[in-house]
Structure 1
């Protein structure tokens, strides 16, 4: 089989197939074509990635990349180069009132795949900056079930779910009411929910109790208040019950949603996240989240096995998106790959409360393959 590109001699970690060994990965016609000990590279572009880790294209399940359309949006291609991400999942930056602009001006021109959750609020996340913080869920007049349904039906090729934000900052005195509307939209469209939770009200338990199999609770390792652990440091029963029925728990680090105290308690009690995402946006790009590889590196410091960390940003994230063509090197899947280095040293990693943990290892981005072509030139 002739290949367009061969990644040679890298340590391939593909949790979807249980692969963790040095092999070649070949791409043809924009797809993964083969994984084998030694591929015939005649006529192909060959990249020697000896000493690097090669994974299926990393999926960041929580980003904000409506650059220029919202104050919190960042440039997806810039972020992808920095973090070796091939799929940015935008989580509700746009609502039905401004989705058309997001699609035309950002998603369609992007070399990086952008898959959006549609916000149940008409204008999406419209008041989020360093100077103004207006929770879009405060005003129930903006909850736009009918408009959401129309936009989803017109954009089934892109939209992966419905986003709603709850908490004192996001929904204020409206409390859990935005979830009532978001659930109806999700039910009508057959799409999963992603639910943001910040400080109470509503409580962590009240939100988790409402979620269905396949729904995603993001910001799952929040600090107090509305932490997933109680005052005795125990994982709340509502989370354990939710995981049993198929609710997915996502990190969504951001500027306020990852605590070392919470993370240690959760990991020590056998409750790792299902997916690890950065929640990168304009206010956390320079810290404490930075990017996906930095967020992933925090789980190295917590003792999570490397293969499980990679799974949380590849195959498990793809399952949350209902996209079996992503997050894997199975032949015929999307021709995306992330090239990483695993560095040894002393790396200070900060949480949202200012606690710094020094990790002996961290992951760094070294290259990106998108659509079977070497895209990032490092």
Structure 2
């Protein structure tokens, strides 16, 4: 059999299949077609020797802001993907129903990487977030647009995978939980999952969790005090355990102010691993403390999570949260996406949103990615 592309001799880690082995991965017609210890390469159009590297399913970043030029926080998704090894960037509420058409036409449809979106319930999404202007879009209830959000979500089911809302002191202000309640109505009407942002109280971490349904995502889940998931004594709050028990998903969403090493250590010490690890990359954190998705994943490696668990949190777990099971796997017939990584050892400096530094001994870097069965290398 001939193939369009074969990645030869890499260490394949695919948590969706419980695989960790040296193998070849073959792509044909934009899909993964075969994974085996040794493939016959006769007639193969493109063979890439990746021996010594990791080959994993195409990485999914569940929380990004890639409406470049359309919002103040948007970054260039393709440049970010090249650095991060990301083949699917999930934009989380940059656009709402009032400006989603522009996001789709000018960014999503033109992108070489896959861009999916949580549609914001606020009419214009996150429209005023910069170093000089900071207006919480959920604070103005007149901007809540549930009927428009349902219509736009139904018209764009191929790329809209959920509904987004932001609540907290800086995003919903005196509106409290009302935007969340409206967003939940939209999610119920469309049959889509919800992603809820939380920042400082009000509302409290517990109040937000109490309203989330199985399959909904709480992002910024390992944020520092106030509204941390742990008690003062460093124990996981009972509301967090109860929410996970009923199927609520916990996403990192590192961002500019939403991830602390101290909280992560406490959560991991109690066996509470994040369901998904995401960057929340945007214009105010791309130059630090986030930088990219691989830096975010590397932080969890250095905090003690195993390599397969870290990979799962940006592949199969993220695909499950998206309800797109053709992603995040190297099974035959799945989307033809893969990421080639190097796992480097040394001394690497990492920083969280509180300013704490961590000297780690591991760092993941991107060697190249496969998108739709074709090699797409970093510049």
User: What TM bracket, shorter-length normalisation?
Assistant: over 0.9
Cα distance in 1 between the residues matched to 2:254 and 2:72 = 18
TM-score in terms of structure 2 length = 0.99
Give me the whole-angstrom Cα distance separating, in 2, the residues matched to 1:285 and 1:72: 10
Residue aligning to 2:128: 127
Q: Is the 8 A contact 2:222 2:258 kept in 1?
A: yes
Alignment-derived partner of residue 183 in structure 1:
184
Deviations 1:78-107 (A, max 9, x none): 000010100000000000000000000000
**Equivalent residue for 2:277?**
276
Q: Would you say the 8 A contact 2:366–2:378 is kept in 1?
A: no
Measure how far apart 1:377 and its partner are.
5.0
- Residue in 1 aligned with 2:32? 32
Residues 210-359 of structure 1 aligned to structure 2 (within 5 Å) = 210-359=211-360
Q: Report if aligned partners of 1:216, 1:247 keep a CA contact under 8 Å in 2.
A: yes
Query: Normalized against structure 1, the TM-score is what?
Result: 0.99
Counterpart for residue 161 of structure 1: 162
> 1:138–1:174: 8 Å Cα contact kept in structure 2?
yes
Unaligned runs of 5+ in 2: none
Structure 1 contact 145–185 (Cα < 8 Å) conserved: yes
* Cα deviations by residue, 1:186-229 (Å, 9 ceiling, x for unpaired): 00000000000000000000000110000000000000110101
Query: Using the alignment, how far apart are the partners of 2:371 and 2:175 within structure 1?
Result: 42
Preserved contact between residue 137 and residue 171 of structure 1 (Cα < 8 Å): yes
Q: Confirm or deny: 8 A CA contact 2:83 2:378 kept in the other structure.
A: no
For residues 42 and 75 of structure 2, what CA distance do their matches in structure 1 show? 40
Q: Is the contact made by 1:4 and 1:43 (CA closer than 8 Å) also made in structure 2?
A: no
Q: Match of 1:294, SS?
A: helix
- Paired residue for 1:193? 194
1:15 and 2:19 correspond: no
**How much has 1:66 moved relative to structure 2?**
0.2
Query: 2 CA distance for matches of 1:144 and 1:46?
Result: 50
In 2, distance between residues paired with 1:39 and 1:132?
56
Report the Cα offset of residue 157 of structure 1. 1.1
Indicate the SS of the match to 2:192: coil
What corresponds to 2:206 in structure 1?
A: 205
CA distance in structure 2 between the aligned counterparts of 1:297 and 1:133, rounded to whole angstroms = 30
Task: Give, in angstroms, the shift of residue 61 of structure 1.
Answer: 0.2
- Cα offset for 1:43? 2.1
SS of equivalent residue, structure 2 residue 326:
coil
CA distance in structure 1 between the partners assigned to 2:167 and 2:117 by the alignment: 19
1:7-156 correspondence runs (5 A): 7-44=7-44, 45-156=46-157
For residues 28 and 20 of structure 2, what CA distance do their matches in structure 1 show? 22
The worse-fitting range, judged by mean Cα deviation, of 320-329 and 224-233 is 224-233
Question: What is the CA deviation profile of residues 96-125 of structure 1, one whole-angstrom value per residue up to 9, with x for unaligned ones?
Answer: 000000000000000010000000000000
SS at match of 2:106: helix
Q: CA deviation at 1:62?
A: 0.1
The 2-side partners of 1:32 and 1:147 are apart by 38
Residues 274-296 of structure 1: CA deviation (Å, up to 9, x unaligned): 00000000000011011110000
For the residue of structure 1 that corresponds to 2:35, the secondary structure is strand
Matches of 1:305 and 1:61 in 2, distance apart? 20
How far is 1:126 from its partner? Answer: 0.1
How many Å separate the matches in 2 of 1:302 and 1:372? Answer: 33
Q: How many pairs align?
A: 378
SS in 2 for 1:82: helix
Whether the 8 Å CA contact 1:336–1:371 is kept in 2: the answer is yes
Specify every segment of 5 or more residues in structure 1 that has no aligned partner in the other structure, as ranges.
none
* Post-superposition offset of 1:156: 0.9
Distance in 2, Cα, partners of 1:43 & 1:105: 38
